[in-house]
């Protein structure tokens, strides 16, 4: 899984049927200290994350499809949790 | 998924089995501020409505093959949505 920070969202009406009524969030990929890693991903939101939230992102297709009860579907990145804090040893 | 801008269309008459009828577009990947990053790629149009100039989002690898009907045609990038609005 990856750590991200929600930076915004994407709105679309013409899309693959899977994305009908899904919330798509733009997430900057960050390290455990919150530093940007330089990339971003557009992830499907399952936890009502908001802009600025630190989130846990699943970036693997089969797990993502499983979360939606699907065996097929063009989905890979999913926000699976909102991170409260990370403690580093 | 990543944002991209459609910058062209690809015409290929001779295609491998499974790719008949699929539209291919040239897509420039973008960062979240819609600035170009990396090199252009060719993506299958899974919404059948994307065209040059449009802001889209696309998937790669296995998810691209999942996006098309019938499934598992040999593609490595597919456009799965046309963006109306993006905030970041």
User: Smallest Cβ distance to B66: which of A9, A41, A73?
Assistant: A73
The mean pLDDT of A41-50, rounded to a whole number, is 97
Note whether A12 contacts B81, CB cutoff 8 Å: yes
Name every chain B residue with its beta carbon within 8 A of the beta carbon of A11.
Answer: 83-86
> Is 80 exceeded by the pLDDT of residue B58?
yes
State residue A74's pLDDT score.
96
| Residue A52 in domain | yes
| Residue A87 in domain | no
The mean pLDDT of A58-69, rounded to a whole number, is 96
Task: Evaluate whether B2 touches B57 at the Cβ level (below 8 Å).
Answer: yes
> Is 90 exceeded by the pLDDT of residue B73?
no
| Residue A8 in domain | yes
The mean pLDDT of B8-21, rounded to a whole number, is 91
**Averaged pLDDT score across all residues of chain A:** 96
Which one, of A12, A1, A9, lies nearest residue A53 by Cα? A9
To test the contact with chain B by mutation, choose from A42, A43, A44, A62 the residue with the greatest count of B C-beta atoms within 10 A, namely: A42
Name every chain B residue with its beta carbon within 8 A of the beta carbon of A28.
Answer: 32
Return the beta strands (E) in A1-85 as ranges.
2-11, 23-30, 36-45, 54-59, 77-82
> Is 90 exceeded by the pLDDT of residue B69?
no
Note whether A74 contacts B2, CB cutoff 8 Å: no
The mean pLDDT of A25-47, rounded to a whole number, is 96
**Averaged pLDDT score across all residues of chain B:** 94
Note whether A9 contacts B71, CB cutoff 8 Å: no
pTM: 0.93
Cβ neighbors of B69 (< 8 A, separation 6 or more) are none
| Residue A70 in domain | yes
Q: List the single residue in A with minimal CA-CA distance to B86.
A: A10
State residue A76's pLDDT score.
97
Residue-range definition of the domain harbouring residue A33: 2-82
State residue B87's pLDDT score.
93
The mean pLDDT of A26-32, rounded to a whole number, is 97
Q: Does B47 touch chain A (CB under 8 A)?
A: yes
Residue B67: φ, ψ to 5°: -75, -20
Helices and strands in chain B: count of H runs, count of E runs: 1, 6
> Is 90 exceeded by the pLDDT of residue A2?
yes
| Residue A54 in domain | yes
**Chain A, chain B: beta-carbon pairs less than 8 Å apart:** 84
State residue B6's pLDDT score.
98
Count: domains in chain A: 1
> Is 90 exceeded by the pLDDT of residue B53?
yes
| Residue A45 in domain | yes
CATH number, domain at A33? Answer: 2.40.50.220
To test the contact with chain A by mutation, choose from B43, B55, B57 the residue with the greatest count of A C-beta atoms within 10 A, namely: B57
């Amino acid at each position: 899984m990856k750590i991200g920070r929600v930076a915004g969202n994407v709105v679309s009406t013409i899309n693959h049927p899977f994305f009908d009524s899904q919330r798509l969030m733009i997430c900057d990929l960050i390290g455990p200290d919150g530093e940007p890693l330089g990339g971003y991903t557009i992830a499907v939101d399952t936890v009502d994350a908001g802009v600025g939230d630190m989130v846990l992102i699943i970036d693997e297709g089969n797990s993502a499809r499983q979360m939606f009860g699907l065996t097929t579907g063009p989905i890979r990145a999913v926000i699976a949790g909102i991170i409260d804090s990370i403690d580093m040893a | 998924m990543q944002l991209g801008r459609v910058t062209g269309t690809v015409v290929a008459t001779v295609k491998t089995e499974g790719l008949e009828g699929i539209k291919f577009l040239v897509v420039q990947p973008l960062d979240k501020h819609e600035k170009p990053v990396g090199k252009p790629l060719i993506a299958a149009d899974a919404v059948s409505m994307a065209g040059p100039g449009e802001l889209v989002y696309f998937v790669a690898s296995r998810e691209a093959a999942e996006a098309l009907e019938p499934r598992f045609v040999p593609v490595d990038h597919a456009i799965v949505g046309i963006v109306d609005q993006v905030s970041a």
